[in-house]
């Protein structure tokens, strides 16, 4: 196996995510009734969702499909497909990390969602029902139980939902690097180059073309995250891949350490205790791959986190803070693209995991390995078809 990447492993979107390995993250982004919240979010530049206006014409077809994906029937099917993809993650990632000598980077101790208002909790009921219907066990906490569970959370929060089955990694980038190093020790090769295309002789793969020359190949997997679309376009597959940009802010040596990764459900961000400090991660910005980051969106996470964790300092020396922006590779129906290309069965796709790429990686990798080896995949791949947008 040869990995071709211009950057070192674990430096893309996988570098700065919230580290959650949530098999319960099966609620699509586009939900019935969600549309009425969107204008409020979009006109608040520091809200959980924002659009860079200059990018709006480009992302319009994606947005249309996003809205169309939010019917009750489609959402039920998407959640079932996501559960099959994500459900086995914690167990699989734990085994993989152990094999790679990085078992200490994966925890299996749950995830908690918290709500500032009863109204916010009630608005999310459709999502909680979807999770329950797909076999996710939930534990509901009232205000007092929440305070007992994790005293660092502000007493303003009135509701909590604990999901014991979930896990997380304390260093997503290091986990990816460890897995790649393990593969290299077992015979894989890493080439630091940018792929530009796949050379075919009819329907037979000849090589991966790169800026450093051709790399001979028999089977190719396109897994370049948010950068995968041009490859699919050239192979005749019109996938509606775009990016939901997200941000994180990290506080080194924080005053508080939340017991579990905690989602502030109404603010739509996650706080996770990581090896390098407390990571505040979230927000969605529709702005494509080329516009510069709007760092105010990372900074605003700190204001929101102070409402959640009142013991955080009211001011920080800049040396303790670091910020990051990454490109979630997103399809409008919240499902990745996993399957064979139209041009040849020997080019496969594994990209577009949106908000759950860290979590979706183990099963995606397993299925791709099965397809390359000619085995029947462990997952029904119909919902993930590259041709579902045609």
Ligand X SMILES: Cc1cc2nc3c(=O)[nH]c(=O)nc-3n(C[C@H](O)[C@H](O)[C@H](O)COP(=O)(O)OP(=O)(O)OC[C@H]3O[C@@H](n4cnc5c(N)ncnc54)[C@H](O)[C@@H]3O)c2cc1C
Picking from 221, 231, 230, the residue whose alpha carbon sits closest to that of residue 340 is 221
Binding ligand X by CB under 6 A: which of 116, 159, 177, 248? 248
Shortest distance, position 274 Cβ to ligand X, whole Å: 11
Binding ligand X by CB under 6 A: which of 85, 163, 280, 358? 358
Cβ atoms of 232 and 382 within 8 Å: the answer is no
Query: Is residue 20 a contact residue for ligand X (CB under 6 A)?
Result: yes
Q: Write the interaction track for ligand X spanning residues 25-54; mark x where CB under 6 A is met and - where it is not.
A: ------------------------------
The 3-state DSSP class for residue 70 equals coil
| Spatial CB neighbours of 160, under 8 Å, sequence gap ≥ 6 | 112, 113, 114, 115, 140, 141, 142, 145, 146, 149
User: Residue 20 or residue 312: which is nearer to ligand X going by CB?
Assistant: 20
Query: Is residue 5 a contact residue for ligand X (CB under 6 A)?
Result: yes
- What is the CB neighbour count within 10 angstroms for residue 243? 25
| Spatial CB neighbours of 284, under 8 Å, sequence gap ≥ 6 | 29, 48, 49, 50, 244, 245, 246, 268, 328
Shortest distance, position 337 Cβ to ligand X, whole Å: 10
User: Residue 5 or residue 266: which is nearer to ligand X going by CB?
Assistant: 5
Cβ atoms of 207 and 346 within 8 Å: the answer is no
Residue of closest CB approach to ligand X? 357
Binding ligand X by CB under 6 A: which of 1, 7, 101, 320? 7
Can you spell out the DSSP letters for 215-257? Answer: EE-SSEEE--GGG-HHHHHHTT-----EEEEEEEEEESS-S--
Query: Is residue 285 a contact residue for ligand X (CB under 6 A)?
Result: no
Shortest distance, position 29 Cβ to ligand X, whole Å: 12
Q: Determine the interface stretch with ligand X among 13-21, 46-54, 159-167, 381-389 (rule: CB under 6 A).
A: 13-21
Picking from 225, 115, 96, the residue whose alpha carbon sits closest to that of residue 169 is 96
Query: Is residue 177 a contact residue for ligand X (CB under 6 A)?
Result: no
Q: Determine the interface stretch with ligand X among 1-9, 129-137, 148-156, 298-306 (rule: CB under 6 A).
A: 1-9
User: Residue 6 or residue 88: which is nearer to ligand X going by CB?
Assistant: 6
Query: Is residue 195 a contact residue for ligand X (CB under 6 A)?
Result: yes
Query: Would you call 168 exposed, middle or buried from its count of C-beta atoms within 10 A (0-12, 13-18, 19+)?
Result: buried
Cα 154 to Cα 168: distance, rounded to the nearest angstrom: 23
Query: Is residue 12 a contact residue for ligand X (CB under 6 A)?
Result: yes
Q: Determine the interface stretch with ligand X among 11-19, 55-63, 144-152, 371-379 (rule: CB under 6 A).
A: 11-19
Shortest distance, position 115 Cβ to ligand X, whole Å: 19
Cβ atoms of 266 and 116 within 8 Å: the answer is yes
Q: Determine the interface stretch with ligand X among 4-12, 159-167, 252-260, 301-309 (rule: CB under 6 A).
A: 4-12
Length of the chain: 390
Query: Is residue 232 a contact residue for ligand X (CB under 6 A)?
Result: no
Shortest distance, position 304 Cβ to ligand X, whole Å: 14
Binding ligand X by CB under 6 A: which of 28, 87, 160, 246? 246
Binding ligand X by CB under 6 A: which of 14, 30, 166, 344? 14
Binding ligand X by CB under 6 A: which of 19, 23, 258, 386? 19
User: Residue 10 or residue 383: which is nearer to ligand X going by CB?
Assistant: 10
Q: Write the interaction track for ligand X spanning residues 314-333; mark x where CB under 6 A is met and - where it is not.
A: ------------x-xx----
- What is the CB neighbour count within 10 angstroms for residue 215? 17
Cβ atoms of 92 and 164 within 8 Å: the answer is no
60-94 as b/e: b if 16+ CB within 10 A: eebbebbeebbeeebbebbbbbbbbbbbbbbebbb
Q: Determine the interface stretch with ligand X among 8-16, 59-67, 286-294, 368-376 (rule: CB under 6 A).
A: 8-16
Cα 81 to Cα 221: distance, rounded to the nearest angstrom: 21
Query: Would you call 232 exposed, middle or buried from its count of C-beta atoms within 10 A (0-12, 13-18, 19+)?
Result: buried
* DSSP-H helix ranges across 72-167: 72-86, 89-99, 118-123, 125-133, 143-149
Which residues lie near ligand X (CB under 6 A)? 4-7, 11-14, 17-20, 194-195, 223-225, 227, 246-248, 281-282, 326, 328-329, 351, 353-359
């Amino acid at each position: 196996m040869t990995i071709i990447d211009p950057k070192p492993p674990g430096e893309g979107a996988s570098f700065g995510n919230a580290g959650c390995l949530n098999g319960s993250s099966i609620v699509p982004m586009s939900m019935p009734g969600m549309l009425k919240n969107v204008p409020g979010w979009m006109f608040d530049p520091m809200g959980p969702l924002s659009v860079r206006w200059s990018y709006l014409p480009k992302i319009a077809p994606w947005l249309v499909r996003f809205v169309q994906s939010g019917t009750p029937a489609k959402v039920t099917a998407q959640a079932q497909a996501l559960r099959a993809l994500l459900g086995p993650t914690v167990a699989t990632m734990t085994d993989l990390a152990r094999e790679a000598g990085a078992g200490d980077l994966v925890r299996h101790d749950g995830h908690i969602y918290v709500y500032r208002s009863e109204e916010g909790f009630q608005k999310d009921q459709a999502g909680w029902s979807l999770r329950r219907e797909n076999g996710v066990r939930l534990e509901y906490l009232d205000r007092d139980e929440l305070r007992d569970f994790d005293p660092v959370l502000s007493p303003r929060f009135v509701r909590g939902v604990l999901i014991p089955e979930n896990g997380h990694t304390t260093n997503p980038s290091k986990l990816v690097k460890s897995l790649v190093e393990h593969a290299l020790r077992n015979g894989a090769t890493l080439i630091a180059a940018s792929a530009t295309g796949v050379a075919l002789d009819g329907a037979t793969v000849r090589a991966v073309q790169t800026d450093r020359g051709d790399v001979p190949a028999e089977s190719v997997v396109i897994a370049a995250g948010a950068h995968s679309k041009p490859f699919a376009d050239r192979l005749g597959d019109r996938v509606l891949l775009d990016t939901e940009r997200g941000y994180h802010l990290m506080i080194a040596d924080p005053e508080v350490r939340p017991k579990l990764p905690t989602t502030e459900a109404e603010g739509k961000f996650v706080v996770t205790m990581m090896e390098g400090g407390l990571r505040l991660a979230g927000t969605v910005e529709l702005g494509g791959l080329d516009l510069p980051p709007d760092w105010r969106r990372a900074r605003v996470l700190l204001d929101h986190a102070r409402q959640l964790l009142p013991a955080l300092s009211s001011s920080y020396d800049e040396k303790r803070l670091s910020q990051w922006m990454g490109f979630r590779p997103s399809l409008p129906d919240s499902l990745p693209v996993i399957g064979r290309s139209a041009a040849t069965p020997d080019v496969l796709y594994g990209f577009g995991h949106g908000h759950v790429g860290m979590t979706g990686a183990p099963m995606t990798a397993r299925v791709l390995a099965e397809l390359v080896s000619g085995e029947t995949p462990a997952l029904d791949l119909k919902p993930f078809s590259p041709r579902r947008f045609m």
